[in-house]
Structure 1
Amino acid sequence: MEEAPAPPRQRRSLGLLSILALLVLAAAVAGYATTKVPARWAGVISTNTRAEVSAVATVPSPPARAPLAVASSPDVPATGTTASVAPANAPDPNTRLREEDRAPKFDVRAANAVPAARETGSQTPVQGVTDTEIRFGMAAPFSGPAREMGHQLKLGIDLAFAQANDEGGVHGRQLKLFTADDAYEPTRTLNAMKELYEQNKVFGFVENYGSPTALISVPYALERHTLYFGAFTGAPSLRRDPPDRYVFNYRAGYAEEADAIVHYLVKTRRLRPQDIGVLTQQDAYGDAGWDGVTKAMRTLRGGVSGDVFRMSYNRNTVNVDDAIAQLRRQRPAIKAVVLVATFRAAAKFVEKTRDIYPDMIYATISGVGSTGLASELMVLGPKYADGIICTQVTPAVDSYASVALNYKKALAKYFPGEPADYTSLEAYLTASILVEGLRRVGPAVDTEALVNVLESMQNYELGLGPKVSFGPSDHQALHKVWGTQLDKSGQYHAIDLE
């Protein structure tokens, strides 16, 4: 019987060679992927296990493509990750990827950072921050009826920045302010924000103006994890509970100011709640003041809001004729009006009603622009200014508070000829708190580090009386409301609201 031949050894060798060849091929493809796959996914490959690398390596690699340009169309807002970052290569839409590889991998702290710096381990560049400067932006009215407010806000920030820069800057960096004009029109605010963030490459926003415009600018800043500091508005949309992480306020809210006015009129001036009416601008500013008045009325009436007489006018106009017609029809007649208006409209309302109601009490909140209001009324005559009440979110400009004296001294040094003004004083205080926060962060500035430092700022002495404090659950520096009243010479004097 013939013995069966042994199986050929050639097959076993072929099997081993095939396995070795596959291993070499897998290693080669993995190496290619590490160098050629776009940065968005390459970091994922480098941190996965060998088994995961093998799984990715079996995916066909896309051909190399030219780098993508960052979109800068005015109609499409850039996100925080793309405004200053261009990906190395675009992923092939035909390439199959795992779900975890499809999601972008980035640290919130480095949202605006250049990828190459992160990969090499060097210090992460931050938009608006260089070795020599830190850039901030402000969207405000520099044209239209509210342009004086934009001028005063810019003046106050420039004043605080000039002081800091003369002292060597913040850790050797000079502070610079860039402005964009939205004319206090929400339809122009988005373009103003894009100009500042995408063209001027600002690090954050400081002292933006207005409540209706904030409904556009705040979401824009939040989507980009960008600081939105000390806006000139007391609207509740900037005072959420819990607060938005990147939004910080200096001033008391309009609800707090309106509450202080109503309580003063009832407790000190002995009016009944039904004796008080409200003139409001037809937008978020007017609504915020109206809500404050009605809440105060509800408190005084034991939880029952009751009827509150309301008049209104259109933003960026001085046409208050319809409001005055409502006032003349009101029965019984009211004895006081809370003006939630800008200074020109408020002055026009006083002008047209003062002779009809000579005993009327007029009270405004700080959003009116108190210096502008005084100037407008004095042009009309002393009787129009006399007795007008205005709440403030700063000490009286003509007071001997140390912060008011320091402000006026700096104003005379850097901007001689500019008069002291409540609006520029507020902006000066806001920017001074921001500068202190930047100093506490240290040389390595980024948004997250600054937010953490601000949230830990407690009992900072600025010379205001109450001390400045923030916390994770409270992003408003002060809750204090000061009272002032105009005399016949157009000067404000402090009054006790309590």
Structure 2
Amino acid sequence: MRTRSAIHSLRRLLLLGACGLMLPAVSSAGLKLGLVAPLSGPASSLGEGMREGIEAHFAEINAGGGVHGRQLELLVRDDRYEPLRSAPETRGLIEEEEILASIGNVGTPTAIVTLPLHNRHQTLLYGAFTGAGGLRLAPPDRYVINYRASYVQETAAMVEGLLEAGIRPEELAFFTQNDGYGDAGYAGGISALKAHGFDDAESLPHGRYSRNSRNIHQGLATILQAPVAPRAIIIVGTYGPAADFIREARRDLPDVLFLNVSFVGSQALLDELDDMADGVIITQVVPPIDADLPAVTAYQAALERHARGAEPNFVSLEGYLAAALFVKGLEAAGPDPDREGVIDALLGLGEVDLGLGEPLRLGTGDHQASDGVWPTRIDGGRFEPVDWENLLR
């Protein structure tokens, strides 16, 4: 016969479960993480890539017994790269599914509307696929931890390289998405030019296009009508409109250089451009997908085992590496992590060697793990390192 105290304890446990008062994101099924990203629509390649990379690493961890015996579960929601869809999907994951954290969410305009939700619910937004400055405040926002380098760092690498190649600041132009993403990349390029003493950067030609559209002609006309024909155009967009713009611009500017930030989706851009892709430059925030590095080798093996025949690409590699670092934080958080504990554990990691040649770093004053930028140039269907010094020869 059960004792009165035992019956009381059992009733209390049942009541706690019924009222939803158990620790968020911890269940018999495991630890729940959320991903809100475009899985359909014109930016779907980016969302699918992040999901493939994250799920490949989580599958590896789960096959080995999980984290402290708990399986990792990724709950994925499709926002089609539209802020009005991203906000309710994020709210549902945080409030109803009680995820431990968001991981790998795609996009700047979507992050702008979901960040207040993460702050209000004190839930981490980790490893977002964006380099926007709004997620890189000083001092850092407690509920934002980034994996990748910023758009400021990417465009700074472009400006540095172009000046080294012999292109003058006044010979640059910009073509950007007309929203927070395009604004972030453009601001980074302007800032880099001003750092080199070019005070008239805002007067450079700047064409724009609308998010989730391929209406590039007005933006192209703005650049073609500029008093100085550009020799290089920095593009801050997604792969579809970027490809359309490059194809059209080559007709009037056959010798111009086209440079894209990593968010463009490198493989998708190559696929869109096909035989017109040679010479296009893309800055990457992860190493080359064929690099002789332990982390990249592990990624390739995980993708082959768990991603149903998906081909390696820079987007899924970023998802995989971001997930690998996140798991380090989960391991440090102990067997029963809560939302605050995971943040504390990640920021307490310090230097972490994932097998990338250089350590990643996180701390209370540094919420961005990697500062690495790898400029690449498409050559014969491959992504090769850029030799800025000999670029124009």
Tell me whether the two structures share a fold, i.e. TM-score over 0.5: yes
C-alpha distance in 2, partners of 1:210/1:226?
A: 18
Structure 2 residue 305 is matched with structure 1 residue 413: yes
Change (3 A) 1:402 1:496: farther
Pick aligned residue for 1:307 from 195, 203, 206: 203
Question: Which secondary structure does the structure 1 equivalent of 2:68 belong to?
Answer: coil
Contact persistence 1:483–1:497 (CA under 8 A): no
Pick aligned residue for 2:315 from 423, 427, 434: 423
Contact persistence 2:236–2:260 (CA under 8 A): yes
Question: Which secondary structure does the structure 1 equivalent of 2:73 belong to?
Answer: strand
Change (3 A) 1:424 1:172: same
1:410-437 per-residue CA deviation (whole Å, 9 max, x = no partner) reads: 1111124210011010000001101111
C-alpha distance in 2, partners of 1:305/1:423?
A: 31
Structure 2 residue 98 is matched with structure 1 residue 207: no
Question: Which secondary structure does the structure 2 equivalent of 1:324 belong to?
Answer: helix
C-alpha distance in 2, partners of 1:249/1:438?
A: 16
Residue 496 of structure 1 deviates from its aligned partner by 5.1
C-alpha distance in 2, partners of 1:85/1:367?
A: 43
Pick aligned residue for 1:138 from 26, 32, 35: 35
Change (3 A) 1:131 1:490: same
Residue 205 of structure 1 deviates from its aligned partner by 0.5
Question: Which secondary structure does the structure 1 equivalent of 2:283 belong to?
Answer: strand
Match of 2:285 in 1: 393
Structure 2 residue 102 is matched with structure 1 residue 238: no
Task: State the AA in 1 paired with 2:311.
Answer: P
Residue 302 of structure 1 deviates from its aligned partner by 6.0
Contact persistence 2:25–2:338 (CA under 8 A): no
Match of 1:270 in 2: 166
C-alpha distance in 1, partners of 2:293/2:308?
A: 21
Residue 456 of structure 1 deviates from its aligned partner by 1.6
Contact persistence 2:36–2:76 (CA under 8 A): yes
Match of 2:381 in 1: 490
Structure 2 residue 235 is matched with structure 1 residue 344: no
Contact persistence 1:298–1:306 (CA under 8 A): no
Residue 333 of structure 1 deviates from its aligned partner by 0.6
Task: State the AA in 2 paired with 1:395.
Answer: P
Contact persistence 1:280–1:312 (CA under 8 A): yes
Question: Which secondary structure does the structure 2 equivalent of 1:215 belong to?
Answer: helix
C-alpha distance in 2, partners of 1:142/1:467?
A: 32
Question: Which secondary structure does the structure 1 equivalent of 2:203 belong to?
Answer: coil
1:88-109 per-residue CA deviation (whole Å, 9 max, x = no partner) reads: xxxxxxxxxxxxxxxxxxxxxx
> Which consecutive segments of 4 or more residues in structure 1 shift more than 3 A?
302-306
Match of 2:45 in 1: 148
Change (3 A) 1:149 1:287: same
Change (3 A) 1:151 1:371: same
Worse overlay, 448-457 or 284-293: 448-457
For normalisation by structure 1, the TM-score amounts to 0.73
Match of 1:281 in 2: 177
Residue 401 of structure 1 deviates from its aligned partner by 1.9
Task: State the AA in 2 paired with 1:194.
Answer: R
Contact persistence 2:35–2:77 (CA under 8 A): yes
Contact persistence 2:232–2:257 (CA under 8 A): yes
Match of 1:80 in 2: none
C-alpha distance in 1, partners of 2:335/2:255?
A: 58
Contact persistence 1:466–1:480 (CA under 8 A): no
Aligned-residue sequence identity (percent) comes to 37
**Bigger RCO of structures 1 and 2 (CA < 8 A, at least 6 apart):** 2
Structure 2 residue 80 is matched with structure 1 residue 180: no
Change (3 A) 1:416 1:400: farther
C-alpha distance in 1, partners of 2:264/2:201?
A: 25
Residue 313 of structure 1 deviates from its aligned partner by 0.4
Match of 1:31 in 2: none
C-alpha distance in 1, partners of 2:214/2:241?
A: 4
Change (3 A) 1:426 1:497: farther
Task: State the AA in 2 paired with 1:271.
Answer: I
Give the aligned length.
374
C-alpha distance in 1, partners of 2:54/2:359?
A: 20
Task: State the AA in 2 paired with 1:359.
Answer: D
Residue 198 of structure 1 deviates from its aligned partner by 2.8
Question: Which secondary structure does the structure 2 equivalent of 1:355 belong to?
Answer: helix
Residue 238 of structure 1 deviates from its aligned partner by 0.5
In structure 1, the gaps of 5 or more residues are 1-66, 68-83, 87-112, 115-124
Q: Which has the larger radius of gyration?
A: 1
1:296-336 per-residue CA deviation (whole Å, 9 max, x = no partner) reads: 11011266646222110000011101012112211121110
Match of 1:81 in 2: none
Question: Which secondary structure does the structure 2 equivalent of 1:143 belong to?
Answer: coil
C-alpha distance in 2, partners of 1:313/1:325?
A: 11
Correspondence list, 1:60-209, <5 A: 114=21, 125-209=22-106
Task: State the AA in 2 paired with 1:283.
Answer: D
Question: Which secondary structure does the structure 1 equivalent of 2:109 belong to?
Answer: helix
Question: Which secondary structure does the structure 2 equivalent of 1:399 belong to?
Answer: coil
Pick aligned residue for 2:191 from 285, 295, 303: 295
- Larger strand percent: 2
C-alpha distance in 2, partners of 1:336/1:232?
A: 25
Match of 2:12 in 1: none
C-alpha distance in 1, partners of 2:273/2:299?
A: 25
Question: Which secondary structure does the structure 1 equivalent of 2:360 belong to?
Answer: coil
Structure 2 residue 116 is matched with structure 1 residue 219: yes
